[in-house]
Amino acid sequence: MIPYGLPQLLWVGLGGFLGSIGRFIMAGALNRFSPAFGFPIGTLTVNILGCFLIGLLYGLAETRSILGPDIRIFLFIGVLGGFTTYSTFGFESLALLRDGAILKASANIILHVFLGLSAVWIGDALGRL
């Protein structure tokens, strides 16, 4: 059984749709206009922008008591989740640090980077078999 109601799932789906389109357009445009870098500047940009936006929106939501639960789901999980899941990683790591859980935050950061890169390498290797 799904622990969320249909309206919440629709908000996440709609937000994810819009966020994914935004990522595709922005990252693609940046990569097309910056081939001299030889670096995925588009992906880096959307990941850092997503981190900034989730921090900004969360700060505004918490200090000004704006953005109800459905809008938060739409923006945080849907739009920014579709735009980049890196924003959620950054947000959760910061939350652990703010809670004083330095070891957990460090483990979260190290595991995401190490396991993420390892998973890409393993997947690539298996795909080349």
Query: 86-121 pLDDT, tens per residue?
Result: 887 888 899 899 999 999 999 989 998 998 889 888
CA angle 81, 84, 87 (to 5 degrees): 85
Residue 121, both tokens: 């390498």
What is the reported pLDDT for 43?
83
CA 95/CA 106 separation, integer angstroms: 12
User: What residues of the chain score a pLDDT lower than 70?
Assistant: 1-3, 37
Sequence-separated (6 or more) residues with CB below 8 Å from residue 47:
84, 86, 87
Domain ranges of the chain: 6-84
User: CA distances (Å), 94 to each of 1, 83, 87, 98, in order?
Assistant: 31, 19, 11, 6
**pTM (predicted TM-score):** 0.75
